[in-house]
Structure 1
Amino acid sequence: MKAFEVCFTGFNTVERNELETQGESLGLIVKKGVTKNLHILCVGDNAGPSKVNKARTYGSVILDKSQFVHFANTGELPQTAVEGLLDLVESRTPKKPKPHSKDILLNEDAQPYGRFNQIANIEKAINSLHGIMLGITADNKLKPAEHAFLDLWLKTHAEVSDDPDMIDIVDVLNDVLADGIIDEDEYEDLFSLINDVNDIREFNEPDSHNQINQLLGLLLGISADDEINEKEIYSLNNWLDTNHGIVEQWPASIITSKLGDILEDGVITEDEKKDLLLTVQKITGTHFCETGDAADNTTECFDDISEIPHDNVGFCFTGKFKSGSRKTVEAKAQSLGAMTSKGVLLSTQFLVIGTLASRDWKYLSHGRKIEKAMSLKEKGHEIYVISEEQWLMAI
C-alpha cells in the first residue's frame, strides 16, 4: 500500500487535513493534485468536476468520504474499488528514461545546446513560474489577458512542461486554464506542489538569483493584463518585505524605491500606478497586451544618450543580436576604434544588449553582465546600458 497515491478534494481545510493525516497513517502517499500516477481520489461535496473527470480519465479509483473512512478503520474497500485498483496497478508500468546524447553542441554565439545548462534553466523557469502565479493571483482574479499570458508562457517554456517533477504542477495549471478560474483547492494545490519541487530540488535554499527570478516572474504576472492595481501593489510590497535580502540588488532596488515613494503618503494615484507599470515593463522587457509575446525578453532599462563614441572607449556586448553574431558586432565596434571585452570591466563605458534575450542568462530578463553593469551604475560608475538599436543608429 505504500506505493499508492491518494488525493482529497472538495473538503474544507480542517476536513482535508484530517483525511490527509489518516491517509499518511495508512502509508499512502498524499498528493495535492490529480496526476497520471494517482490511485485514489477521495471526493467531498464541493469537488470540482475537472478533477473528477481527470481522475476517471487516468483510471483512478474514486471514493467518497464515508468509503475512505471505512477503509481507514477496517481496511475494507468496495469490491469495484478493489478490482479497479488491481487493474490500475497491472496497467501501469515504469517509464524507461529517454536516451540522450552526451555531446555538447555550441550555437553561433558559443552557447550550448542540449543538456549543458538544462538544470539551471529549469531552476530559472520554475522560480519564474512561481513568481508569475503569485503575480497573477495577487488580486484573487484571473483576467482574460492573464489567462492568455499563462497559457502562452507554458507553451513557450517546454523545459517546464517536460520536466518530470513539474508534471503535477502543469496538470493543475491545465485545470485552471480549462475553466479560466483558480479555485481555493487549485490555489492550495498549486503552491504546495511548487514548494514541494523547490524543496526536492533544493531551489528554496537562500540564493539571491532564485529570488530575483521569482521577482521577475511576479512582475510579469502583475503586469500581464497591462495594468497594476492596489492589491497587486501591496502584494508586491509584502513580497519584497519578506525577501528583504535582495532589496539592494537590481532590479529589486528600483522597485523598492518606487514602492516607497508610492506608499509614503498612503494614497495610490492613477499616475503612480501607470508609472510603476512602465517601470515593470522596462525591467522585464515584456508588453504582452501589445505584442502577444510571453517569451523571455531582454530588459529595456536603457540609458537615454545622444552620442556614442567608439575611439578608445570600452565596449561589452551581451545577448543575441539581430545584426549578426557576437563576433560580428564586436569586430564592427573594434573597426571603429572601440576596445571590446568579454565581460563588464571598470573600464567598460558601454554595455550593448542584443535585441533577443539569451536562453542561458542567469536571470529571466538579463545575465551577469547586465547585473554587474547595473550594480556599477548604482555605485556611481560611468557606464551606459544601451540597446542594439541605439548602437546601430550611432554607427
Structure 2
Amino acid sequence: MMAELKYGGSALGRIHAKSNGRKVEAYWLGFLEGVLASESIESLEVASIRAEAEQFLQLFGDTDAADLIQDLDTAYGDYHREIFEIISGIVDYRLRPFSESSSNDCCNRFFGFCAGIACDNRLKIKEVEKLIDRIDRNPQLLEDARIAALKGVAVKAISDGHLSMEEEEDIAEWIVRLVGDSCTDTGLPTYRNTPSIDGVLRDASMLVFENSGFVVTGAFSLGPRKIIEGWIVERGGLVSKSISRSTDYLIVAAIASRDWLHSHQGTKIIEARKLRESGGRIHFVEELTFRKALGF
C-alpha cells in the first residue's frame, strides 16, 4: 500500500520540487523585471533587492543571486547605473527558459513584477504603464478579479498623464492584495507572503467553531496542519480538505505553503475567492485571529 504523503513533508516536496523551482524562478524574474520598470535603480530599492536575492540564494543556491548580493556591496563609481545593468543582464539570461510560459509562469512573474515595482513604496508613471501593458499582453491574468480591478485603477490613475500620491496609494493597495506588504514596510522578502485578502474575519470572537465548516491552508507557525485540524474538531468544527459551499472558514497561515500553485496563493484561496465573489458565505481567517479564537 502506498504510504500517505505528509503535507509539507520531504516526499511531497520531491514530487513538487520541479514545479516549485519554476514558481520561485518565475517570481524572481518578475521581481527583477519590476525593479527595472522605472528604467533606473532607486536608493530605496537596494535593500529590497538584497532581501529577495538572499532568499532566492537560500532557496536554490543560485549563483546569479550570490553575485548580485556581492555587486550590491561593491562601491561602483556610478553605483545605481551599474546595478541596473547587472540586473538587466540577469533578466536577459533568465528570460530564455520562459519564452513559452505557462499560465502559472505568467501569474508568478506578474506577482513578482508587482512586488518589484512597489518595493520602494513609490510608483512612477513608467512603472504603471508597464504594469498595464503586462496585463494587456497576458489577458488570462484578468480572470483574477483583483488584477482586473488593479488594471482599472491603474488606467484611471494615469489617464491624465499625471500620477498623484493618492493615486499611487490606490494602486499600491491593490498590489498589497496580490503580494502582501512590501519589503520596505516589513524588512522581509515578499516571496511567499500571504496577500491582503478581502472578506477577512478580524474579530476572533465572531468565529464560531460548533458545526462550522473549516479548511486550512499554508504553513502555520502554530504547528502541523494535522494538529490544527484536531483543535478545530475538538471545538466542534467540521474539517474538510477542499473548498465547497458548506465551507464557513478558510484558515490562512501567515506564510504561504511551499507547494501552493502560485507564489502568494494556492488553489484553496483561489477557489474561496471565487466562491465569495459568487455570493458564498465563506470567511477568510488569518493565523493571528485564529490563534486568538483558539484562546492561545
Question: 1:154, 1:160 within 8 Å by CA — same for their partners in 2?
Answer: no
- Kindly report structure 1 stretches of 4+ aligned residues shifted beyond 6 Å: 104-108
Question: 1:330, 1:340 within 8 Å by CA — same for their partners in 2?
Answer: yes
Q: Name the residue aligned to 2:193.
A: 297
Q: Name the residue aligned to 1:253.
A: 148
Question: 1:212, 1:252 within 8 Å by CA — same for their partners in 2?
Answer: no
Instruction: Select the structure of larger CA radius of gyration.
Output: 1
Q: Give the alignment partner of residue 275 of structure 2, picking from 358, 376, 379.
A: 376
Q: Name the residue aligned to 1:234.
A: 129
Give 1:304 shift: 4.4
Q: Distance in 2 between matches of 1:291 and 1:319?
A: 20
Q: Distance in 1 between matches of 2:212 and 2:159?
A: 42
Q: Does 1:308 align with 2:207?
A: yes
Distance 1:380 1:242, change over 3 A: same
Q: Name the residue aligned to 1:192.
A: 92
Match runs of 1:345-360 below 5 Å: 345-360=244-259
Q: Name the residue aligned to 2:43.
A: 144
Give the alignment's Cα RMSD to 1 decimal: 2.9
Give 1:341 shift: 0.6
Distance 1:315 1:176, change over 3 A: same
Distance 1:162 1:304, change over 3 A: closer
Q: Distance in 2 between matches of 1:375 and 1:263?
A: 29
Number of residues paired by the alignment?
283
Give 1:319 shift: 0.6
Q: Distance in 2 between matches of 1:174 and 1:320?
A: 28
Which segment drifts farther, 178-187 or 149-158? 178-187
Give 1:221 shift: 0.4
Give 1:127 shift: 0.9
Distance 1:287 1:377, change over 3 A: same
Give 1:330 shift: 1.4
Question: 1:350, 1:383 within 8 Å by CA — same for their partners in 2?
Answer: yes
Q: Distance in 2 between matches of 1:192 and 1:283?
A: 25
Q: Name the residue aligned to 2:239.
A: 340
Q: Give the alignment partner of residue 274 of structure 1, picking from 154, 159, 169.
A: 169
Q: Distance in 2 between matches of 1:330 and 1:285?
A: 26
Question: 1:302, 1:386 within 8 Å by CA — same for their partners in 2?
Answer: no
Give the unaligned 5+ runs of structure 2. Answer: none
Which one-letter code corresponds to 2:255 in the other structure? L
Q: Distance in 2 between matches of 1:379 and 1:265?
A: 34
Give the unaligned 5+ runs of structure 1. Answer: 1-103
Q: Distance in 2 between matches of 1:214 and 1:317?
A: 26
Q: Distance in 1 between matches of 2:246 and 2:10?
A: 25
Task: Tell me the alpha carbon deviations over residues 230-279 of structure 1, each in whole angstroms, 9 at most, x when there is no partner.
Answer: 22111111111111122122542332233244345655321121122133
Q: Give the alignment partner of residue 181 of structure 1, picking from 80, 87, 90.
A: 80
Question: 2:200, 2:286 within 8 Å by CA — same for their partners in 1?
Answer: no
Q: Distance in 1 between matches of 2:147 and 2:169?
A: 18
For residue 346 of structure 1, give the secondary structure of its aligned residue in structure 2. coil
Question: 1:105, 1:114 within 8 Å by CA — same for their partners in 2?
Answer: no
TM-score, normalised to structure 1's length? 0.64
